Every structure is written in structure tokens, then in C-alpha cells.
């Protein structure tokens, strides 16, 4: 095993090489883990402020300047809340579920490249790692629902799991697109391949699909019918109280921002920004760019009404899944043809290589791919619109029929 950086310093200081290596890994892990930990505390404040502004309120403003310390006050409140475990629950699994839920989200951060020099680890299979780890969260929800030993919890868990697995298909198909363009699953290589041109311009549709399905993966509105906190029981976490309940929520808050970071890494060029490259500024760019999808996600959450489960499922299986498959097929086909006519930058072996290409070299390819995406989208949007209005008409007719029927009696 190689021993560089901090490990090297420790070895020179007289530490045993094995121990030094372990220590350097441990310190790295602690640093990477602390990023989501610190972020989540401020995310909760930001999210409450934004939600309040959208709903024409002020939001937390009592504790500390601008209510900044509010989250800590809530944390202390949660710490001294009574925490009830139902008598009929499966104690071990009941307690394990919230831990697994938050850990699954935190694990994603291991592969996030913050700057060219600061990242947890650069796995060769980074993109697949992220999907695999995210699926642990699904299992956590299933476990929580079953271990609570409650009808509503179990039903809620079943519904949420059915929804999560359904939306994972377009998510993974959308993920194939940056992997194909970069020719690697490593998050680091994917960012590097966007040096000349961000993937959002080459594959806007893939980004849109990824965004919609990751919104569903977090269980946020308009896909929050399982939870529907304002009208139904809470779903799979109905029996949870105190800190364990808080952990499910922390996982959700963190997941939304994690998705923002992932979209930035996969589609918005990670740490790149035209004409300005420095390690620390790179970190700032990543954070700033991650806020764009994060803010849009909050915006949608606070403005779009909740959908029914049959609508959500129909939207996924009849629009998102076919669209994501068509998207991959069209992109694969077009890039193959563009390579034949020489519009795609290639390396000396004739393989596609976007990493070293400049903006100008990538422009023709990008324009063709962008137009193809728009062309795919147009009929789909039309179809969606027509289906929506048909549904509305049918609903209205049914309502009128019911009224007439009631009056006739």
C-alpha cells in the first residue's frame, strides 16, 4: 500500500507504518464525515428560511441573529424529548432503522470530489457505489415499517418502497449518460471530462430525469404522498418519536442537498467554472452550484401540490421510464454517428476523450446533442399536457355526474 501525505509525515515522526496508514485513513474519514454533519445543521435553517419566504412568512428569527441558532435549540429540545418504543415493536430492528437511514446518506459523501485535491476516495466504480449505497436507505425504510409493528407504518413503508424502487429505474438510466460520456464511473473522471463543456448542455434531458427521480427518492413534494404530513398519518415513521424521529428527518434534509451535490458533480461540472481555477475557490464553486438544484428542489416542494399514488406511478412508468430509455438509446446512437463524421474529440487510439478537449472543439457535438434532446422532449411534453387535460375533463365529468345523481335522488 502506498503511503503519502499525512501518512508519510506520521511515519517520519516515528510511528509504525501500519498504524500511520490507519491513522491517516481515520483522519480522512472523520474529515469527510464532518462535512455532511456540519452541513445538515445549517441546511435545516436554510430550508426553513426559504420555505417561510415562499409562504410569505419570516421563519425562525428569535434564537440568535436571523434565527441561526434555532437548529441547536431544536436539537436540545429533541435531546430531552421522551422517546417511546412501542411494546409490540421489534426492538433491535426498530432502533437500527433510523441509524441505517442517516448512515446510508452520509456514506454517499465518501465519493464526492470536493476539489481536485480534496476528496474522500476516488473509487473506480464511484457512480455505481452511490446507487448501491442509496439502496440501503430503501431497506432502512422497509425495516422501520416492519419493526414498528403498526398497520399504518407497514402500509406506508410498502407504498414508499414501491415508489422508491419505481423511481430508481429512470435515476439509474439517467446516470448512464454521464458515465457513457466520460467513459468512466469514477466521480473524479466524470468531473474532469466536463472541463471543456458541462454535461448539462450535452444532456439536459438526462439531468432533468435525474433531478425528478432524485426528488422522488427523497420523498419530497410532489412525491410525498406517503408521508403527507398535513393530511395523513406520518407513514413508515408513525411510531418514531424523539431523536430517532429526528434522525429520519435529518437524513431527508441531508439527502436533498446530497442530491444537489451529485447533480453538480455529474452534470454541472463539479468544481469547474469558466476562467477561474483555484483549489479553495473550487470548493466554493461546487457548493454554490449545488445550491441551484437544491433551491429548485425546495421551490418545487413548497409550491407544487401533492399527487395521488396512481398519478405518481403512472407518471413514472408511462413517461419517465420510457423517456429515460429512449434518451440513452438516442444519445448512444448520435455520439456513435458524430464520431464517424469526426465531430467528437478523440485520443490517439480513436476512443472518445472529452477530458482534454476545449470548449470550441466540443461545441458542434454539444449543439447536435442539445437539439436532439429538445426534439425528444417536445412530443413528450405535448403528450403530458394532453393526458393532463384529459384527466381533468374526466374528473370534472365524474364530479358533475355525482352531483346530478345526488340531486336526482
Partner 1 sequence: MIQFDFSTIAFFVFAVLTLGGALGVVTNRNLFRGTIWLMVSLFGVAGFYVLLSAPFLAAVQVLVYIGAIAILFTFAVMLTRSLTRLNVRYTRLWPSALGAVLLFAMLVIGVIWPVFGGNEMYSLPLSDVVRTTSDLGVALVSGEGYVLPFEVASLLLTGAMIGAIVIARDADEEELEQ
Partner 2 sequence: MDVLNEWAFIGVFLVLSPILPILPIGAAWLLRPKRANVLKSQTYECGVETVGDTWVQFRVQYYIYGLIFLVFDVEMVLLFPWAVAYHKLDFFAFAAGLLFIFLLTDALIYAWRKGVLVWR
Does residue 131 belong to the site contacting partner 1 (CB under 8 A)?
yes
Whose cell is 374526466? That residue is: 394
DSSP state of 349: T
Taking 3-state DSSP, the helix, strand and coil percentages for the chain, each rounded to the nearest 5, stand at: 70, 0, 30
Query: Binding partner 1 by CB under 8 A: which of 86, 183, 287, 345?
Result: 183
* Residue 61 touches which of partner 1, partner 2, none (Cβ within 5-8 Å per kind): none
**CB 115, CB 289: distance < 8 Å:** no
Enumerate residues 347-406 that contact partner 1 by CB under 8 A.
none
User: 158 or 370, CB closer to partner 1?
Assistant: 158
Smallest CA-to-CA distance from 132 within 98, 161, 156, 168 is with 168
Does residue 133 belong to the site contacting partner 1 (CB under 8 A)?
yes
Whose cell is 477561474? That residue is: 276
How far apart are alpha carbons 320 and 214 in whole angstroms? 12
**CB 238, CB 148: distance < 8 Å:** yes
Does residue 191 belong to the site contacting partner 1 (CB under 8 A)?
no
Does residue 123 belong to the site contacting partner 1 (CB under 8 A)?
yes
Work out the number of other CB atoms within 10 angstroms of the CB of residue 64: 14
Does residue 139 belong to the site contacting partner 1 (CB under 8 A)?
yes
User: 213 or 289, CB closer to partner 2?
Assistant: 213
Give every CB contact of residue 335 below 8 A, 6+ residues apart in sequence: 180, 181, 344, 352, 365, 369
- 33 exposed, middle or buried (CB, 10 Å; 0-12, 13-18, 19+)? middle
Work out the number of other CB atoms within 10 angstroms of the CB of residue 28: 18
Enumerate residues 2-61 that contact partner 1 by CB under 8 A.
18, 22
User: 11 or 61, CB closer to partner 1?
Assistant: 11
- 170 exposed, middle or buried (CB, 10 Å; 0-12, 13-18, 19+)? buried
Does residue 140 belong to the site contacting partner 1 (CB under 8 A)?
no
Enumerate residues 81-120 that contact partner 1 by CB under 8 A.
90, 93
CB 132 → partner 1: shortest distance, Å?
A: 4
Does residue 184 belong to the site contacting partner 1 (CB under 8 A)?
yes
**CB 187, CB 213: distance < 8 Å:** no
User: 80 or 280, CB closer to partner 2?
Assistant: 80
User: 33 or 228, CB closer to partner 2?
Assistant: 33
User: 184 or 194, CB closer to partner 1?
Assistant: 184
Does residue 176 belong to the site contacting partner 1 (CB under 8 A)?
no
Q: Residues in the site for partner 1, rule: CB under 8 A?
A: 1, 18, 22, 90, 93, 123-125, 128-129, 131-133, 135-136, 138-139, 142-143, 146, 154, 158, 161, 165, 168, 183-185
Amino acid at each position: 500500500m502506498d503511503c503519502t501525505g499525512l501518512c508519510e509525515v506520521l511515519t517520519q515522526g516515528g510511528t509504525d507504518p501500519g498504524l500511520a496508514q490507519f491513522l491517516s485513513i481515520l483522519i480522512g474519514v472523520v474529515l469527510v464525515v464532518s462535512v455532511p454533519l456540519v452541513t445538515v445543521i445549517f441546511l435545516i435553517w436554510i430550508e426553513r428560511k426559504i420555505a417561510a419566504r415562499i409562504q410569505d412568512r419570516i421563519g425562525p428569527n428569535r434564537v440568535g441573529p436571523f434565527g441561526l441558532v434555532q437548529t441547536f435549540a431544536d436539537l436540545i429540545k429533541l435531546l430531552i424529548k421522551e422517546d417511546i418504543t412501542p411494546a409490540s415493536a421489534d426492538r433491535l430492528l426498530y432502533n437500527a432503522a433510523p441509524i441505517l437511514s442517516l448512515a446510508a446518506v452520509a456514506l454517499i459523501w465518501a465519493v464526492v470530489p470536493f476539489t481536485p485535491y480534496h476528496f474522500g476516495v476516488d473509487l473506480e466504480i464511484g457512480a455505481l457505489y452511490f446507487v448501491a449505497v442509496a439502496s440501503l436507505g430503501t431497506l432502512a425504510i422497509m425495516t422501520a415499517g416492519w419493526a414498528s409493528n403498526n398497520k399504518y407504518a407497514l402500509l406506508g413503508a410498502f407504498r414508499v418502497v414501491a415508489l422508491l424502487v419505481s423511481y430508481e429505474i429512470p435515476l439509474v438510466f439517467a446516470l448512464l449518460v454521464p458515465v457513457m460520456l466520460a467513459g468512466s464511473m469514477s466521480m473524479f473522471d466524470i468531473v474532469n471530462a466536463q472541463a471543456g463543456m458541462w454535461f448539462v448542455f450535452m444532456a439536459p434531458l438526462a439531468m432533468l430525469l435525474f433531478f425528478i427521480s432524485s426528488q422522488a427518492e427523497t420523498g419530497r413534494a410532489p412525491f410525498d404522498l406517503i408521508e403527507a404530513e398535513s393530511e395523513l398519518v406520518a407513514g413508515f415513521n408513525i411510531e418514531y418519536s424523539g431523536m430517532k424521529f429526528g434522525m429520519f428527518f435529518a437524513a431527508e434534509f441531508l439527502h436533498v442537498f446530497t442530491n444537489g451535490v451529485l447533480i453538480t458533480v455529474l452534470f454541472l461540472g463539479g468544481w469547474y467554472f469558466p476562467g477561474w481555477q483555484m483549489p479553495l475557490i473550487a470548493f466554493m464553486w461546487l457548493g454554490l452550484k449545488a445550491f441551484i438544484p437544491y433551491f429548485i428542489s425546495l421551490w418545487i416542494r413548497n409550491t407544487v401540490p401533492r399527487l395521488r399514488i396512481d398519478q405518481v406511478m403512472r407518471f413514472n412508468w408511462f413517461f419517465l421510464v420510457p423517456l429515460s430509455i429512449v434518451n440513452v438509446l438516442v444519445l448512444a446512437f448520435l455520439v456513435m454517428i458524430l464520431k464517424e463524421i469526426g465531430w467528437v474529440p478523440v485520443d490517439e487510439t480513436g476512443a472518445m476523450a472529452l477530458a482534454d478537449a476545449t470548449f470550441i472543439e466540443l461545441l458542434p457535438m454539444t449543439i447536435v446533442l442539445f437539439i436532439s434532446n429538445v426534439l425528444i422532449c417536445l412530443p413528450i411534453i405535448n403528450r403530458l399536457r394532453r393526458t393532463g387535460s384529459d384527466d381533468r375533463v374526466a374528473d370534472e365529468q365524474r364530479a358533475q355526474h355525482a352531483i346530478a345523481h345526488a340531486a336526482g335522488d
